[in-house]
């Protein structure tokens, strides 16, 4: 097993030290409503989880962890005695050690240029691949891993370098995900069966692991110059300082190397963040931040799950509604793609992204730089499905129907010129009569109709 380098104990930074890192959001991020997440790893070989529901909807923690819907948590779930994943791993994979899955992962059909082209066509502003998930396997030649990474085993290539180059070639912004909070290889705690275990009692907090994680992220910054650092779970407590190898120092180095960079909120509640992150139906408190992002998969898993089908997956229309809903409430949407082990994007995911792109071709421009609309002007509803945004000189209504038989909808916001309303694209027609705007939804719409209404 690889051993983290050691560091000396330092005192945790005081709140005023973290406060010195506060800064304005860069313009590009303020105007970036949509990003793509990528979860790809040795867990993509078995590609198996129970699709029991979205995170935040399964209330019993023991049930969630024992029947985990996240395929990328396979290494943890198969260690829980009596779990269906453990039984599946024994029956299908002979109970082999997890690292043998790394050697079975070949990525033989990996085409990063085609990935980036698909993401661009779907309307993405930024792309965030996973560099190291909780299983501890680096998707680049991570320092200190003693060859337990994809350059030396499995795919035998720098996957992050290939993705980063393709993303930048398409003019999108690069972010990088890193699991600083957990590493089941270098710090093999018992399997997690509770949220407290994940976020506190069974996560590494020691100086050696803090230095190990610091060295990784510093290397990622130096090699790939990301504009987003997306940490997960937490940061080892012993590293929450501004000394050598400390998180505060890491942030300073990141901002110096990437002046337009931002960091998320999963480094520890007492540290620093530029924006908050919710996940499916969980961590909703983050949506009260001035800047926030909601992340989720097309299905219930981030890593590819061969058990999922169309019944667990969002269509392009549904993705467009999710995106609009998030932006109308002041957030941005980070949608995950989980490639197969061979490097291909599953057909269901590709179709949903293509459908979303068809809507984004006309609709995205009205999400860029948008702000939530004052409720005194109009309020959102779910049936009919209506979301509102404010664009200064105009307001925009995004109108759809969850009940496909409902096609005629009336709008009556205040303080605007309803008679000047227009439709962007071909999702509906509008007429003005008697102080109301009559919207006729068209059956062939590819997502919510976009109704522009000028202010008085």
Does 192 fall in a domain?
A: yes
The domain in which residue 253 lies consists of 15-366
Same domain, residue pair 377 and 333: no
Same domain, residue pair 69 and 169: yes
pLDDT at residue 1, rounded to an integer: 40
Does 9 fall in a domain?
A: no
Does 8 fall in a domain?
A: no
Does 121 fall in a domain?
A: yes
Same domain, residue pair 329 and 387: no
Q: What is the pLDDT of residues 191-210, one digit of tens each?
A: 999 999 999 999 999 999 99
Same domain, residue pair 413 and 286: no
pLDDT at residue 2, rounded to an integer: 43
Same domain, residue pair 163 and 62: yes
Does 277 fall in a domain?
A: yes
The dihedrals phi and psi of 141, each to the nearest 5 degrees, come to -80, 75
Contact 126, 227 (CB under 8 A): yes
Q: What is the pLDDT of residues 354-367, one digit of tens each?
A: 999 999 999 999 99
Which of 331, 366, 401 terminates a domain? The answer is 366
Which residues of the chain, if any, have pLDDT below 70? 1-9
Which of 366, 399, 430 terminates a domain? The answer is 366
Contact 390, 373 (CB under 8 A): yes
Q: How many domains does the chain have?
A: 2
pTM of the shown model: 0.96
Same domain, residue pair 348 and 450: no
Same domain, residue pair 118 and 146: yes
Same domain, residue pair 189 and 67: yes
Query: Can you tell me the distance from the alpha carbon of 330 to that of 324, in angstroms, rounded to the nearest whole number?
Result: 10
Which of 315, 346, 366 terminates a domain? The answer is 366
Same domain, residue pair 182 and 68: yes
Same domain, residue pair 281 and 182: yes
Same domain, residue pair 328 and 378: no
Same domain, residue pair 381 and 322: no
Does 346 fall in a domain?
A: yes
Does 1 fall in a domain?
A: no
Which CATH number belongs to the domain containing residue 165 in this structure? Answer: 3.20.20.80
Which CATH number belongs to the domain containing residue 448 in this structure? Answer: 2.60.40
Does 7 fall in a domain?
A: no
């Amino acid at each position: 097993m690889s051993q983290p380098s050691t560091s000396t104990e330092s005192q945790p930074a005081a709140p005023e030290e973290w406060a010195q890192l506060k800064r304005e959001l860069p313009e590009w991020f303020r105007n970036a409503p949509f990003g793509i997440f990528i979860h790809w790893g040795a867990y993509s070989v078995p590609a198996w989880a129970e699709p029991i529901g979205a995170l935040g909807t399964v209330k019993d923690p023991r049930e969630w962890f024992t029947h985990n819907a996240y395929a990328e948590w396979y290494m943890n779930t198969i260690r829980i005695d009596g779990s269906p994943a453990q039984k599946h791993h024994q029956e299908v994979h002979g109970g082999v050690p997890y690292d043998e899955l790394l050697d079975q992962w070949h990525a033989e059909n990996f085409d990063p240029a085609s990935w980036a082209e698909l993401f661009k066509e779907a309307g993405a502003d930024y792309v965030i691949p996973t560099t190291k998930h909780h299983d501890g396997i680096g998707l680049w030649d991570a320092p200190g891993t003693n060859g337990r990474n994809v350059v030396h085993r499995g795919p035998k290539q720098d996957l992050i370098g290939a993705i980063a180059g393709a993303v930048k070639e398409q003019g999108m912004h690069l972010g990088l995900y890193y699991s600083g909070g957990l590493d089941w290889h270098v710090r093999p705690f018992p399997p997690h069966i509770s949220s407290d275990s994940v976020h506190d009692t069974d996560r590494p907090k020691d100086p050696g692991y803090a230095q190990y994680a610091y060295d990784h992220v510093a290397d990622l910054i130096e090699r790939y110059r990301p504009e987003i650092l997306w940490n997960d779970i937490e940061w080892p407590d012993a590293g929450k300082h501004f000394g050598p190898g400390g998180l505060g120092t890491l942030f300073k180095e990141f901002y110096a190397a990437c002046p337009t960079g931002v960091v998320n909120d999963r480094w520890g509640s007492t540290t620093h963040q530029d924006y908050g992150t919710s996940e499916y139906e969980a961590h909703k408190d983050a949506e009260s931040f001035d800047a926030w992002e909601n992340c989720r998969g097309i299905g219930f898993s981030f890593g590819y799950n061969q058990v999922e089908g169309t019944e667990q997956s969002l269509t392009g229309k549904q993705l467009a509604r999710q995106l609009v809903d998030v932006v109308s409430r002041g957030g941005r949407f980070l949608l995950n793609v989980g490639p197969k082990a061979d490097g291909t994007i599953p057909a269901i995911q590709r179709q949903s992204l293509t459908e979303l792109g068809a809507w984004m071709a006309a609709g995205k421009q009205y999400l860029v730089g948008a702000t939530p609309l004052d409720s005194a002007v109009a309020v959102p509803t779910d049936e009919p499905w209506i979301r509102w945004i404010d664009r200064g000189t105009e307001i925009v209504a995004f109108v759809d129907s969850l009940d496909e038989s409902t096609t005629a909808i009336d709008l009556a916001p205040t303080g605007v010129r309803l008679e000047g309303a227009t439709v962007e694209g071909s999702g509906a027609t509008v007429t003005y009569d008697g102080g109301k705007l009559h919207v006729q939804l068209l059956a062939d719409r590819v997502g919510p109709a976009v109704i522009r209404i000028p202010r008085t």
